[in-house]
Structure 1
């Protein structure tokens, strides 16, 4: 995202006496020509920077000037923060850039920007998740958080499609999949009901509309803490069934990466040099389906229920492809 790069370039310029195009390219992980074009774009947009030619040269802010980004409108500020928080990278430099950007916001816009930054979580995935085109829905929810507004959403859940009116409190992702923590307002009020906070998958929201009614977080609401409690509940549901695996040594790292927090190395109870891994899932048949793809590098030692489901999967495959 170019807007992301330009902001990071500006912040780097403000933190150093000067920077070369090659140094900026290394920081932003782009080519040198791209970094040079970004610097030229900043200069053309009115940022007071200039290139110092020759040995030891580079790009500098004129007279050590700094900018507070006061030329941005409130909508542009919110849009910029939404773009930054939706970016997949969560490295420390990006987190620091978001914090610095919030501090640099014009004072009237800073409060909404802080709400967006504080109410957006990027987290590790639960297994593999497909890429989803949810950025416009996430952006609408973040805009509602910034302006403290309620939303009306059409949600296609397990019980069918229904219309929700609620206060969005946290939008967060596990890998590529986004989730919303939200709650209806207390009767006759404008604050979200802390006893009715629920989790919704953003890819199941078909439509979202910002309402004119104000919707604010409950007093003392801890967004990061609420997200952590939600993750713990889901992990508990997902980890009801455990299996012990003997894994080929070269495949252990790939398996641990694939299953994430649902897998761990354990002390060998079979042979001293055997890599042994424990994996978890919410049902034995679901765990067997996941492990079937690893059949060439994994042997399920226990429980018998998972082994039985794997045998049934194998029998179905043999029958289906008997004439192949």
Structure 2
């Protein structure tokens, strides 16, 4: 622990030029007395540190002595800080990141700091856990975020014709197994699922970053809108006990299990983007789930039943003859 603190103290001196014992104590989360002892230990070990007395004094590195990380390119530094700076990092990793930032040569620090804030991982569940690839344009969009350049983006939702627009890529988010890009558009901040991007052409124009932009805050606002669409409707049903584990996996946090009924089944309520989608999902459990409301869900199931019978009813007739 003492060796770690001495390294951190040296890097802090290197980054600030001059520090007081109180400033170092606050940075290392130790007492001022301990910070002063660490500075004296650096002197005793031969590090060119000296104390300047009086007003405006403090501790300095003699002649601007430095201990730089060498051999790292700008791209490598950005990649490292983007990976290590994602939300959810452990306290140890965040501490290492702070130390590393002070060791990075001065010209690379702004790029490293920007990269550390360019990606987050949202761990709140949207009922999916397996991480999918970000699509063929993931690397290009990540590069645009890091380089701070606008992108001509081709994008298409399922069943739609791709359309193109110029956007300001501001950060990447991993959520429920999918990668999203938060970007500024003519309509304000929007999120784009990377798997639906059909083209990504960087431009020479710099990104227009909103004043005070924070990726985590922007994503929370966008995610709230998405979550509202995911739970826009509810369906009530009676389910066999052995169907409950399947339903829990299917709906995860969008399933409420209610009272035990006289016939041994459970009352459940499932939430989703629409009544029709919920009815279709529950239809897969057959007679183990009986949808009781709303009426529109039951009507949709009846319609599905007629369509399925028309398509597959002859198979049953063939099997019984």
Please tell me the TM-score bracket, short chain as reference.
0.5 to 0.7
Tell which structure's C-alpha radius of gyration is larger. 2
8 A contact 1:154–1:208 mirrored in 2: yes
Partner Cα distance (1:183, 1:127) in 2: 27
Q: Does 1:115 align with 2:114?
A: yes
TM superposition score normalised by structure 1: 0.63
1:100 to 91, 96, 99: 96
8 A contact 1:102–1:114 mirrored in 2: no
Q: Residue 84 and residue 130 in structure 1: after superposition, are their counterparts in 2 closer, same or farther (change >3 A)?
A: same
Partner Cα distance (1:103, 1:274) in 2: 58
Q: Does 1:291 align with 2:291?
A: no
Q: Residue 226 and residue 270 in structure 1: after superposition, are their counterparts in 2 closer, same or farther (change >3 A)?
A: farther
Where does residue 21 of structure 1 map in the other structure? Answer: none
Where does residue 256 of structure 1 map in the other structure? Answer: 248
Spell out the pairing of 1:217-232 with structure 2 (5 A cutoff).
217-232=209-224
Cα deviation per residue 1:109-161 (whole Å; 9 max; x = unaligned)? 34333333433233345445986442552332222222222222222357633
8 A contact 2:153–2:197 mirrored in 1: yes
Q: Residue 135 and residue 115 in structure 1: after superposition, are their counterparts in 2 closer, same or farther (change >3 A)?
A: farther
Where does residue 148 of structure 1 map in the other structure? Answer: 148
Spell out the pairing of 1:266-305 with structure 2 (5 A cutoff).
266-268=257-259, 270=261, 275-295=266-286, 297-305=288-296
TM superposition score normalised by structure 2: 0.63
Matched length:
248
Partner Cα distance (2:92, 2:140) in 1: 24
Where does residue 72 of structure 1 map in the other structure? Answer: 72
Where does residue 173 of structure 1 map in the other structure? Answer: 174
SS of match in other structure, 2:251: helix
User: Displacement, 1:165?
Assistant: 1.6
Partner Cα distance (2:307, 2:207) in 1: 53
Greater mean deviation of Cα atoms: 305-314 or 101-110: 101-110
Where does residue 204 of structure 1 map in the other structure? Answer: 196
